[in-house]
Amino acid sequence: MYEFFKQNFRWLAGGFLLTYFSSFGQTFFVSSSVGEWQAQFELSHGEFGRLYMLATLASALCLPFLGRLVDIMPVSRMVLLVIPILALASLLAANASSVAILAIAIFLLRLFGQGMMTHIALTATGRWFEQQRGRAISIVVLGHQGGEATLPLLFASVVTTYGFQTGWTLGAVSLIVIGLPLTYYAYRRPRIPQEHHQNSEMPTAEIRSWTRSEVLRDPLFWILLIGVLAPPFIGTTIFYHQVYLTDLNGWPPRMYALSLTVMAGTTVIFALTCGALIDRFNATSVLPFFLLPLAVTCFVLSRGGPVPTLFVVMILIGISYGCSSTLFGAVWPEVYGTLHLGAIRSVIVSFMVFATAAGPGLTGTLIDRGIPLPTQMYWAGIYCLLATVVVGLTSLELKKRNKHALEMATP
């Protein structure tokens, strides 16, 4: 691992920085200023929730068009485009003088933060690494956990003394002064994939690079989405309803905050573990198992319990997040090639953003209709088990397709 990290430091660091600074557009960071914006513009919880949902859905609609630029423009040039716009969005969030400007700010934060920053990092890493793609992606996605662990605390410290506007302004400054030059330097020189690694034990076929239109006509793609969309839908739902769940089970807020630290540590461990498994067995072999921890999470939440139950839930979520974050970066280039990876991933990310927007709204509506969240979690667990079977069968079909491609390529 040390030699791998040493030899590929610049590209791994570039991807890590992108996922780290994507935090400015992630829900966990944006939500830290919700109270101030509601007070400033006299918005109710429902009104701000609808504004946030519409801005997120609008960003999802734009991703398939903007995301394909990663296939056309050099990654370093994309960095010069995306990071300044994210910094501008942070300035708008700090100085919004109307609800309309706030909506534009959130739209840009979601599109260029959660969407494009992560999209560029995973697309570039998936394209530049082949034999050790899983290991590389598992390191790059740790930027998300780094952002979760540090930026809210730094932001809270600034807000306490100087106000939330200063916090967002300093965020914009850090993007321009730190994020932009370091990431540009790291990505200025593209990495050349080592297509035939001397220590590789597994023969691999030259993966045909599918176009986005071909992928959208592939039935296996839509079947895979049945499983791929479950973690963002269910995970966002769980964290969105955290107050509901803690009140329901009597979990103290202090214990909930501590459990998030446990979840972050677990996520890191299993992101790296999943990366090693992908490099050893390939992503399609790992694919059938990634929903099992999430299924168990849902069943545990459906029953509830004392404080130890909370830590069990967070460990399981950490396992699920760690595996899925690495797996989703590796499986698409393995199945559909790398030439049009930006266009393909932009569609997938768009669907995932839709899932994060739909989860809280749908489950909240069901709660209002008298269906409590524990009951919904039980059926979500059943869904995960059924999806595991479906994805497992799809994985077998993908292996057959790859085997056929290998036979066709062998003289």
CB atoms within 10 A of CB 214: 14
Structural domains in the chain (count): 2
Task: Give CA–CA dist 64/342, Å, rounded.
Answer: 9
CATH of residue 355: 1.20.1250.20
Tell whether the model's pLDDT for residue 6 goes beyond 90. no
Q: What is the pLDDT of residue 13?
A: 94
Query: Could you tell me the residue range of the domain that residue 242 belongs to?
Result: 206-411
- Mean pLDDT, the chain, whole residue set: 87
- Do 184 and 223 lie in one domain? The reply is no
Based on the domain organization, do 102 and 230 belong to the same domain? no
What confidence tens digit (pLDDT) does each residue in 275-305 have?
889 888 888 888 889 999 999 999 999 998 8
Please report which confidence band the pLDDT of residue 217 belongs to, taking 50, 70 and 90 as the band edges.
very high
pLDDT at 28: 78
Half-sphere exposure of 407 (CA within 13 A, CB side): 6
Same domain, yes or no, for 38 and 157? yes
Q: What is the pLDDT of residue 407?
A: 62
Same domain for 292 and 410, yes or no, is: yes
The reply to whether 169 and 266 lie within a common domain is no
Query: What is the chain's length?
Result: 411
b/e sequence 338-350, b meaning 16+ C-beta within 10 Å? bbbbbbbbbbbbb
Q: Is the pTM of this model over 0.95?
A: no
The stretch 176-181 carries a mean pLDDT of 96
For residue 199, is it within any domain?
no
Tell me: do 238 and 188 sit in the same domain. no
Are 181 and 211 found together in one domain? Answer: no
Tokens 């489950």 belong to residue? 363
pLDDT at residue 408, rounded to an integer: 62
pLDDT in tens, 381-394: 999 999 999 999 99
Would residue 200 count as lying in a domain?
no
Q: Please check whether residue 198 lies inside any domain of the structure.
A: no
Distances in Å between the Cα of 397 and the Cα atoms of 122, 221, 236, 359 are 25, 11, 30, 30
Question: Does residue 83 lie within any of the structural domains?
Answer: yes
**Helical H segments across 141-282, by residue range:** 142-162, 164-174, 180-187, 212-216, 219-228, 230-240, 242-249, 253-281
Determine the pLDDT at residue 202. 43
231 and 360 in a single domain? The answer is yes
* Least trusted range by pLDDT, from 252-266, 281-295, 316-330, 336-350: 252-266
- What pLDDT shows up at residue 356? 81
Q: Is the pLDDT of residue 200 over 50?
A: no
Mean pLDDT of all residues in 208-220: 90
